[in-house]
Amino acid sequence: MPGIIDIATVWAFIIAFAVFVYVVMDGFDLGLGLLFPLFPAKADRDVIMNSVAPVWDGNETWLVLGGGGLMAAFPLAYAVLMPALYTPVIAMLIGLIFRGVAFEFRWRTTQEKRNRWDIAFAGGSLLATLAQGIALGAVLQGVHVEGRHYAGGWWDWLTPFSILTGLALAVGFALLGATWLVLKTEGELRDRAYHLSWFLLFAMLGAIGAVSIATPFLHIQYTERWFSWPNIILTAPVPIAVAAVAVLLLRALSNKWDSQPFFLTLTLFALSYAGLGISMYPYIVPQSITIWQAASPVSSQLFMLVGVAVLIPLILGYTAWAYWVFRGKVRAGSGYH
């Protein structure tokens, strides 16, 4: 049962960590797909694809860890949430198929001018992003649970709030994609990425504001979590930090410090994510199932904890090495596709 630090809480943090690493790593490469229609020239698109081709597969593996880890550590939550999010999850999977195969397929088609795999990459990225954002909103607003089952319909997820979170995530991923291009490209392509970053930053701040205002209206618990005394001492720094990071980002964009905007945008994501955690904890299915109710037995969680403790640092190590190998600016025709 609930202790200060028990193994179920540890696992909640591990799953949250896996999902966050997924957002950090796949967010920008989904964002590149969202921006693809704005870069119609083939040379630009080649560079954009080249900047993630060696790492995209590793990025998506974190999504598999999030799903697989949820099933292993919190099987009840997995069993309730997946049917509740049925349509968005299927849509996300289909989107990921189209964009995932595009990395190789676009080089294999002979119709280079109007490459339909470029459309698949952009469309698949958009579908997957919207679906993830909608799923997030659908979880936050809560799902109908009876006993150990999801008891709602297959369109319950669709509400104005989930549409809002879907669009908000798309704006956020697009900003990550634009600032990634600032980091990884040069010349005219980079300048256009800067231009887009300005616009997208304001859009993202608006989106964060809109979701933050809408969330407390979903459940009285969210309102109490954020605004009741003494919680507010702990919650107030989050929006203050968002404002501070936004100022730093604006400064980096106007001074054209290439390496900063991407990491500052990630910080914005981390803060929004922390806000999400503050809203949800200790529920894994908001307002119905807590992490302790959903947890698999200690023998299962402990067995995996050993592996996680040894392997996650190792994974982060060789993933960092792979990024290091392909570090620096990507130039047209620079040797890997």
Looking at residues 291 to 310 of the shown chain, list those that interact with another protein (rule: CB under 8 A).
296-297, 299-300, 303-304, 307-308
Q: How far apart are CA 5 and CA 294, in angstroms?
A: 16
In whole angstroms, the minimum distance from the beta carbon of 150 to another protein comes to 6
Smaller CB distance to another protein: residue 143 or 174? Answer: 143
Q: How far apart are CA 12 and CA 5, in angstroms?
A: 11
| 127 counts as binding another protein under rule CB under 8 A | no
Please pick, from the candidates 98, 121, 173, 269, the single residue that binds another protein as defined by CB under 8 A.
Answer: 98
SS3 state of residue 289: strand
| 313 counts as binding another protein under rule CB under 8 A | no
Please pick, from the candidates 96, 126, 130, 285, the single residue that binds another protein as defined by CB under 8 A.
Answer: 96
Angle (CA) 102-105-108 rounded to 5° is 150
In whole angstroms, the minimum distance from the beta carbon of 21 to another protein comes to 11
By CB under 8 A, what part of segment 137-196 binds another protein?
148-151, 153-154
By CB under 8 A, what part of segment 219-248 binds another protein?
none
Q: Please list, in sequence order, all residues whose beta carbon lies within 8 angstroms of the beta carbon of residue 234, skipping any fewer than 6 positions away.
A: 278
Cis peptide preceding 216, ω within 30 of 0: no
By CB under 8 A, what part of segment 57-86 binds another protein?
57-58, 60-61, 63-65, 67-73, 75-76, 78-83, 86
Size of interface with another protein, in residues (CB under 8 A): 73
Q: How far apart are CA 282 and CA 87, in angstroms?
A: 26
Smaller CB distance to another protein: residue 83 or 216? Answer: 83
Burial class (CB in 10 A: 0-12, 13-18, 19+), 170: buried
By CB under 8 A, what part of segment 267-296 binds another protein?
296
In whole angstroms, the minimum distance from the beta carbon of 328 to another protein comes to 10
In whole angstroms, the minimum distance from the beta carbon of 28 to another protein comes to 15
| 216 counts as binding another protein under rule CB under 8 A | no
Helical packing angle, 7-35 and 56-73, nearest 10°? 150
Whether 23 and 166 have beta carbons less than 8 Å apart is answered as no
In whole angstroms, the minimum distance from the beta carbon of 177 to another protein comes to 19
| 326 counts as binding another protein under rule CB under 8 A | yes
Q: How far apart are CA 218 and CA 223, in angstroms?
A: 9
By CB under 8 A, what part of segment 31-60 binds another protein?
46, 50, 53-55, 57-58, 60
In whole angstroms, the minimum distance from the beta carbon of 35 to another protein comes to 20
What are the backbone dihedrals phi and psi of residue 104, each rounded to the nearest 5 degrees, phi first?
A: -95, -40
Smaller CB distance to another protein: residue 54 or 239? Answer: 54
Whether 67 and 93 have beta carbons less than 8 Å apart is answered as no
Smaller CB distance to another protein: residue 189 or 196? Answer: 189
Sort residue 333 into left (φ over 0), alpha (ψ -120 to 50) or beta: left
What are the backbone dihedrals phi and psi of residue 43, each rounded to the nearest 5 degrees, phi first?
A: -60, -45
In whole angstroms, the minimum distance from the beta carbon of 163 to another protein comes to 20
